[in-house]
Chain A
Amino acid sequence: MSASHARRAAVTGIGVVAPNGTSTDAFWKATREGVSVIDPITREGCEGMPLRVAGQVRDFDPPSAIEERYLVQTDRFTHFAMAAADRALEEAGLGRADTDAAPFSVGVVTAAGSGGGEFGQRELQQLWGKGSRFVGPYQSIAWFYAASTGQISIRGGFKGPCGVIAADEAGGLDALAHAARGVRRGTDVIVAGATEAPLAPYSMVCQLGYEELSTVAEPDRAYRPFTSAACGFVPAEGGAMVVVEAEESARDRGAPVRALVAGHAATFTGASRWEESRQGLARAIQGALEEAGCAPEEIDVVFADALGVPEADRAEVLALADALGPHAGRVPVTAPKTGVGRGLAAAAVLDVAAAVLAMEQGVLPPTPNVFDVCHDLDLVTGRARATETRTALVLSRGLMGSNSALVLRRGAADAS
């Protein structure tokens, strides 16, 4: 295995466990059609809180996807991650025999912003209800951000470089960038992404202090970024894992190169300082374009962060103008997450999944529930838009102040 500067990082498989679909096909169909699945939170213990609606993964049965010994030692967010990783590897055509043949060539990188709240709450209730002797040992690993990376690598027998990104919501994009760097440095395959399960009572209470959280109870009115009715964001669970692989090794084994992770940059501008995020996000976009060797005019679609807070939305629009110049007023922008909610670090990874599929299909998915855009932005609303798409820019910001931008190139078209 030789590392060289010429190695390029490709996306060869996508695994999705999202509120609008627990397979890549179902997710894409719902995303393309602009189906909104945000609905009232019905999970036990979550009723009667000021946060009323969310994107919930209802069509996922953990025991049918994950072996019991891994289920008992992991939280719901790791169940999502393990299932999504399985699907991504399957899509990439990498079976257990392939990865077992070269275990040191396969690594894992995940990001998380919420951790294992449901598992943690259960064990903390044991602690305060019965005493420390009744806390299970797996509490020591299950609720930490690092759990999904560890369990995916153990379960799959992967011994390559592993990492965990704890960088706020924008960490989802950073995880993919970290994976791409790992591939450029010489690892053939890195399973990367983010999943979240922030809808347990304890995790919900942790979020209630965020002013940016939407407390609107009507599912179709709760999350409407870039409009004068913007009233915050709706959270979600689920996420996606992708197989990031050396383009060369993918082509050698005949796997389709679906996209290339071409450029990334990240900045930090402070918690809830949305006006300042303009500068940080613009800098991240410029850095990502630079690394990708991409001119602003080459960007065919932007997957926006779309926080849904007027000040933040305005900062994002201005950041696009700062970084892309006049092209910012022409390039189609979309935010499919308005139909499923923001899954913290997972939100932008779902956007990456949608961006890869959009480039493959030549269709830009719409922004559900958003109609009257009050910014100078060509937002894709109503229905999907058919258009040739070679290069996508995905943006993400976190409530704690992280800003990231990722540039993706279509696989087949960029074989030069």
Chain B
Amino acid sequence: MSERITVEELAGLMKKAAGITVAPEDLQQLSDSGFDSFGLDSLGLLGIVGELENRYGTPMPPDAEKCKTPRQFLDLVNSALLAGA
């Protein structure tokens, strides 16, 4: 099990869960921009959280679905995965 979700994986999840195409480099560069600026709405983010929970078989922090930016989100879920490992 990978203990860290990368920007590449997040880009893949945004595509799978919400149909949003974003290059990982752009996501990295704009990681402090709001998810809404990529076209991701709250249900889309909820879908990504659900996907991660199913993938890792562990609940994500309740605040994960409230994160506003990619950096916030990755920091939160990665620290949760690290703590749970």
Contact surface of A with B, Cβ cutoff 8 Å: 67-73, 133-134, 136-138, 140-141
List CB contacts (< 8 Å) of B31-76 with chain A. 39, 43-44, 46-47, 50, 53-54
Contact A73 B53 (CB under 8 A): no
Report Cα–Cα, A72/B17, bound state, in Å: 8
Closest CB in chain B relative to A334 CB, distance in Å: 41
Q: Which residue of A lies closest to B53 (CB)?
A: A133
7 pairs of A and B residues whose beta carbons are closest in the complex:
A72-B19, A68-B19, A69-B19, A137-B43, A137-B46, A137-B47, A69-B20
Size bracket, chain B contacts: 10 to 19
> Interface code B1-23, partner A: CB below 8 Å = 1, 0 otherwise?
00000000000000001111100
Contact B18 A73 (CB under 8 A): yes
Closest CB in chain B relative to A144 CB, distance in Å: 13
Instruction: Return the contact of A138 from the options B20, B47, B53 (Cβ within 8 A).
Output: B47
Closest CB in chain B relative to A94 CB, distance in Å: 23
Contacts of B17 in A (CB 8 A): 72, 136
Report Cα–Cα, A134/B47, bound state, in Å: 9
Q: Given the known A-B contacts A68-B19, A71-B19, A73-B18, are A138 and B43 also in contact in the complex, defined by CB atoms under 8 Å?
A: yes
Report Cα–Cα, A138/B39, bound state, in Å: 15
Report Cα–Cα, A73/B44, bound state, in Å: 9
Q: Which residue of B lies closest to A68 (CB)?
A: B19
Report Cα–Cα, A72/B50, bound state, in Å: 16
Closest CB in chain B relative to A52 CB, distance in Å: 35
Contact B19 A136 (CB under 8 A): no
Contacts of A71 in B (CB 8 A): 19
Closest CB in chain B relative to A8 CB, distance in Å: 38
Instruction: Return the contact of B19 from the options A73, A133, A134, A141 (Cβ within 8 A).
Output: A73
Instruction: Return the contact of A72 from the options B18, B46, B53, B54 (Cβ within 8 A).
Output: B18
Report Cα–Cα, A138/B41, bound state, in Å: 11
Contact surface of B with A, Cβ cutoff 8 Å: 17-21, 39, 43-44, 46-47, 50, 53-54
Contacts of A133 in B (CB 8 A): 50, 53-54
Contacts of A140 in B (CB 8 A): 43
Contact A69 B39 (CB under 8 A): yes
Instruction: Return the contact of B21 from the options A68, A73, A134, A141 (Cβ within 8 A).
Output: A68
Interface centre among A69, A70, A133 (most CB of B within 10 A): A69
Report Cα–Cα, A73/B16, bound state, in Å: 11
Contacts of A137 in B (CB 8 A): 43-44, 46-47, 50
Closest CB in chain A relative to B65 CB, distance in Å: 9
Contacts of A141 in B (CB 8 A): 43
Contact A136 B47 (CB under 8 A): yes
Closest CB in chain A relative to B68 CB, distance in Å: 18
With A69-B39, A134-B54, A137-B43 given, can you name 11 additional A-B contacts, CB distance below 8 Å?
A: A67-B19, A68-B20, A69-B19, A69-B20, A73-B18, A73-B44, A136-B17, A136-B47, A136-B50, A137-B46, A137-B47
Contacts of B20 in A (CB 8 A): 68-69
Contacts of B43 in A (CB 8 A): 73, 137-138, 140-141
Contacts of B53 in A (CB 8 A): 133
Q: Which residue of B lies closest to A71 (CB)?
A: B19
Report Cα–Cα, A71/B16, bound state, in Å: 12
Q: Which residue of A lies closest to B50 (CB)?
A: A133
Contacts of A73 in B (CB 8 A): 18-19, 43-44
Q: Which residue of A lies closest to B45 (CB)?
A: A137
Closest CB in chain A relative to B48 CB, distance in Å: 9
Q: Which residue of B lies closest to A138 (CB)?
A: B43
Q: Which residue of B lies closest to A140 (CB)?
A: B43
Closest CB in chain A relative to B53 CB, distance in Å: 6
Report Cα–Cα, A134/B21, bound state, in Å: 22
Closest CB in chain B relative to A249 CB, distance in Å: 31
Contacts of B54 in A (CB 8 A): 133-134
Closest CB in chain A relative to B66 CB, distance in Å: 14
Report Cα–Cα, A188/B28, bound state, in Å: 43
Report Cα–Cα, A69/B40, bound state, in Å: 8
Report Cα–Cα, A136/B53, bound state, in Å: 12
Contact B50 A69 (CB under 8 A): no
Report Cα–Cα, A136/B21, bound state, in Å: 18
Q: Which residue of B lies closest to A130 (CB)?
A: B54
Contacts of A134 in B (CB 8 A): 50, 54
Interface centre among A67, A136, A140 (most CB of B within 10 A): A136
Closest CB in chain A relative to B81 CB, distance in Å: 17
Q: Which residue of B lies closest to A66 (CB)?
A: B19
